[in-house]
Chains A and B, each alone.
Chain A
Amino acid sequence: MLNFEYTSEQKEIKELSLKFARNEMHPKAQEYDDNKKFPGDVLAKAWELGLMNTSIPTEYGGSGFTASDSVLITECLAYGCMGMTTSMMANDLALLPIIIGGSDEQKKRWLTPFTNEFKFASFCLTEPGNGSDAAGLKTTIKDNGDHYVVTGNKMWITNAGHADLFVVYGTIDPALKHKGISCIVIDASSEGIEIGKAEDKMGHRCSDTRSLNFNGVKVPKENMLGAPGEGWMIAMKTLDHSRPLVASCALGGAVRALECASQYAKERVQFGVPIAKHQAIQTIIADMGIKVEASRLLVSKAAWLLDQGLPNTKVASMAKAFAADSCMQITTDAVQVYGGYGYSKEYPVEKLMRDAKLIQIYEGTSQIQRLVISREIFKEY
């Protein structure tokens, strides 16, 4: 019943994605990180090759990738650069609510342009005062007869400075808690949107992260995804899809750290032999390898469940928590294997360690994942 072999197409997809990571991303990753430079040129090439927006279904111009294909692509791209991959994933994260909750007309209106043109969208859930407690968000969506009025502040919004669309969560009535949460698509050119300055971050420095203020923005009624109050359900389903992707991003970064550490260990000579001959280093490398392999199994299962149409909330959260925590450990250990050189920006591993940290935080912290996982386990047993 089990089959771990990639299909012939997946092998080619992997081949292309890795080639892209090595030729287009590796040479630029450090420089773009140093200068907080948005990787628009790299992403435009990625878009040309179909490496972006992989979640869009074929009916709307997408390439028809399964979730298993998408996690494979994301792993390879993150092996190239986790920061650049965050920028690409943010598009999928923003488009997924439309794919999940949008009508046919809405999908045609918003998804198809992303297959014809290189552009960005932002997913806007988190607020200055509400991160893990997403249901407590304060942004309001007020029914004003023939349109809605959106008012509130959003925080840590990826691609905000480049996006054409904002997919915004707000509440029609805070007293309704999560039953009041609704999801609405806002054109970035609408009046009353204030885009904050780019955040100066520890890692993923090339990705564009900003705050956003919606100051009484008028939004047409036909921009609501699903019915008012269905936003929470759309958000939760979005996370079922996006968490395997984020987990695969952690996995890709971990693979890069393992590759760097292993190669360096074979080159670096101490006490007359390459340090790879020392047991102390061997156990570190072995533990890195175990975590990479286990992360990949969880990521693959989370994606496979999605492709089968089966519930994946628990496994997606397990994949996200395990892959992110493993990536943090693996990249930290990679710096350790490099010793002093690892701490220098001359070598690639310090960036990996900084990039890894964010994956334990965004898209549900590792602690929130465990909350989700335990809740699912208590339902089971």
Chain B
Amino acid sequence: MNIFVCVKQVPDTETKVTPNSDGSFINLDSIKWIMNPYDEFAVEQALQIKAAQSESTVTVVRVGSVRDTEALRTAMAMGADESILVEAEDNLDSYCIAKAIKGGIEKSGKTPDLILCGKQAIDDDCLQVPQLLSQMMELPSVSMVVGFEQTGEDLKLRREIEGGSIEVYSLKTPAVVACNKGLNTPRYASLPGIMKAKRKPLAQHSLADVGVTDGDRRVKYSSFNLPPEKPPGKKFEAMDEDAVAGVVSEVVGLLRNEAKVI
């Protein structure tokens, strides 16, 4: 099986993100990059399939800057066989990213049997790439997947929906599957894995190589700003029984006239 896994490199969850000086994008200087946590579930799923079907290959695909290739190296250290990097600015929209991934996969010369993605990236939270990609590649797709079973070409996928209920989908490969937390427990990259990863092939393409042009952009960011600072909360003292009634009517008044929530 040819398994492709789409990974994105995102700021570490502990990073404090700030707009850059002209507000055109975020400040990239002091960011520590990690693999998008939902993509780790996708990589793990691919590696579990590979372990069960020895003839499978796992190829990781990423669209983004070459400044730091953390996510691809991590995936290969975990056990992926090779990777593809489509070099691009970090502020591409979901449509361009999906198109670039499609182009990158086609460049590999391999026909995908399965494309795994994280359900969303934790930086821009767009939740669009898996669906766009499946549309462009004319493949079925299921998102929010928390259960994965495969028998030959048949996939049985469990998908989490609102309220904690589960939908079960039956479909055939090839397909695009967007993975959610709960699907598996991603492994650590082992030290020997880290040492081996540097010898694994990494193909690099430009956006032009994979057929993405400026005209493909559907979204252009106009500016980035921090949300307005929240005013400090108000504290009301009502330790004294007699004061309670007064405080309550004061709070109700403020909620009605100032906060305008009741």
CB neighbours (8 Å) of A336 from chain B are none
- A12 in contact (CB, < 8 A): yes
The answer to whether B190 and A64 have CB atoms under 8 Å apart is no
A13 at interface (Cβ–Cβ under 8 A)?
yes
What's the Cα separation between A263 and B192 when bound, in Å? 34
Chain A interfacial residues counted at CB < 8 A = 16
Give chain A nearest CB distance to B195 CB in angstroms. Answer: 5
The reply to whether B73 and A50 contact each other, CB–CB distance below 8 Å, is no
Please pick, from A8, A9, A49, A65, the residue contacting B190 in the complex, using a CB distance under 8 A: A49
Scoring A residues 45 to 76 as 1 if CB is less than 8 Å from chain B, else 0, what string do you get? Answer: 00011110010000000011100000001000
C-beta contact mask, B55-88 vs A, less than 8 Å → 1, else 0?
A: 0000000000000000001100100000000000
B139 near A: Cβ within 8 Å? no
Residue among B73, B74, B191, B195 having the largest count of chain A Cβ atoms under 10 Å: B191
Q: Are B191 and A13 in contact (CB under 8 A)?
A: yes
Report the nearest B residue to A73, measured CB to CB: B191
Q: Inside 8 A of A13's CB, which chain B residues have their CB?
A: 191, 194
Contact B192 A12 (CB under 8 A): no
How far apart are the CA atoms of A173 and B31 in the complex, in Å?
62
Closest Cβ of chain B to A92, distance in Å, is 14
Knowing A12-B73, A12-B77 are in contact, say whether A48-B190 is a contact too (CB < 8 A).
Answer: yes
Give the CA-CA distance A364 to B77 in the complex, in Å: 38
Instruction: Digitize A1-15: 1 where CB-to-B-CB distance is under 8 Å, 0 elsewhere.
Output: 000000011001100
Interface magnitude class on chain B: 10 to 19
Instruction: State which residues 12-63 of A face B: CB under 8 Å.
Output: 12-13, 16, 19-20, 48-51, 54, 63
Task: Assess whether B74 is in contact with A12, with CB atoms less than 8 Å apart.
Answer: yes
Q: B175-190: contact bitstring with A at CB < 8 Å (1 yes, 0 no)?
A: 0000000000000111
User: How many contacts A-B (CB < 8 Å)?
Assistant: 36
Tell me if B156 counts as interface (CB < 8 A to partner A): no
Q: How far is the CA of A51 from the CA of B189 in the complex (A)?
A: 11
| Closest residue on chain A to residue B189 by CB atoms | A16
Contact B194 A12 (CB under 8 A): yes
Q: B200: which A residues are within 8 A, CB to CB? A: none
Whether A19 contacts B188 in the complex (CB less than 8 A), given A8-B73, A12-B74, A12-B77, comes out as yes
A65 to B194, CA, bound (A): 11
Interface centre among A8, A9, A12 (most CB of B within 10 A): A12
How far, in whole Å, are A42 and B198 apart by their CA atoms in the complex?
27
CB pair B192–A9 under 8 Å, yes or no, is no
Interface contact A64-B188, CB-CB below 8 Å: no
Contact present for B194 and A9 (CB under 8 Å): yes
Q: Across the interface, which residues of B come within 8 angstroms of A16, CB to CB? A: 188-191, 194
Residue in chain A with minimal CB distance to B193: A50
Q: How far is the CA of A12 from the CA of B33 in the complex (A)?
A: 12
Q: Do residues A63 and B192 form an inter-chain contact, with CB atoms below 8 A?
A: yes
Q: Are A9 and B198 in contact (CB under 8 A)?
A: yes
The A-contacting residues of B in range 160-213, CB under 8 angstroms, are 188-195, 197-198
A65 to B191: give the CA distance in the assembly, Å: 9
B26 to chain A, nearest CB (A): 22
Give the chain A neighbours of B192 by CB distance below 8 A: 50, 63
Q: For residue A51, which residue of chain B has the nearest CB?
A: B191
Residues of A with C-beta under 8 A to B189? 12, 16
Which A residues are CB-close (under 8 A) to B77? 12
User: In the complex, what distance in Å separates the CA atom of A132 from the CA atom of B194?
Assistant: 40
Q: Which of B74, B191, B198 contacts A50 (CB 8 A)?
A: B191
Tell me, rounded to whole Å, the shortest Cβ–Cβ distance linking A296 to chain B. Answer: 20
State whether B195 touches A9 (Cβ < 8 A).
Answer: yes
Contact of B188 among A49, A54, A65, A73 (CB under 8 A): A49
CB–CB B73/A49 < 8 A: no
With both chains docked as a complex, state the minimum distance between the C-beta of B190 and any C-beta of chain A, in angstroms: 5
- Nearest Cβ in chain A — how far from B16, in angstroms? 15
CA distance A182 to B193 in the complex (A): 38
Closest beta carbon of chain B to A112's beta carbon, Å: 14
Question: What CA separation (Å) do A12 and B73 show in the bound complex?
Answer: 9
**Shortest CB distance A114–B (Å):** 14
Shortest Cβ distance from B194 into A: residue:
A12
* CB-defined contacts of B194 to chain A, threshold 8 Å: 9, 12-13, 16
List chain B residues, Cβ under 8 A from A65: 191
Q: Shortest CB–CB separation between residue B125 and chain A, in angstroms? A: 24
CB A41 to nearest CB in B, in angstroms, measures: 15
CB contacts (< 8 Å) of B190 on chain A: these are 16, 48-50
Q: How far is the CA of A64 from the CA of B194 in the complex (A)?
A: 11
B74 partner residues in chain A, CB cutoff 8 A: 12
Report the Cα distance A11→B92, complex, angstroms: 28
Q: Kindly state the separation between the CA atoms of A9 and B132 in the bound complex, as whole angstroms.
A: 35
Q: Please report the C-alpha to C-alpha distance between residue A65 and residue B195 in the assembled complex, in whole angstroms.
A: 9
Chain B residues with CB under 8 Å of A63's CB are: 191-192, 195
Residue of A nearest to B195 (CB): A63
Q: Interface code A148-192, partner B: CB below 8 Å = 1, 0 otherwise?
A: 000000000000000000000000000000000000000000000
A64 contacts across to B, CB distance below 8 A: 195
Which A residues lie within 8 Å of B188 (CB)?
16, 19-20, 49
Within the assembled complex, what's the spacing in Å between the Cα atoms of A289 and B193?
A: 33
B69 nearest in chain A by CB position: A8
Q: A82 to B91: give the CA distance in the assembly, Å.
A: 44
Residues of A within 8 A of B (CB): 8-9, 12-13, 16, 19-20, 48-51, 54, 63-65, 73
Q: List 6 A-B contacts (CB under 8 A).
A: A9-B198, A12-B194, A16-B188, A50-B190, A50-B192, A63-B195
> Given A13-B194, A49-B191, A50-B190, 12 more contacts at CB 8 Å?
A8-B73, A9-B195, A12-B74, A12-B197, A13-B191, A16-B188, A16-B191, A49-B190, A51-B191, A63-B192, A64-B195, A73-B191
The 4 closest A-B pairs by CB, nearest first: A50-B191, A49-B190, A50-B192, A63-B192
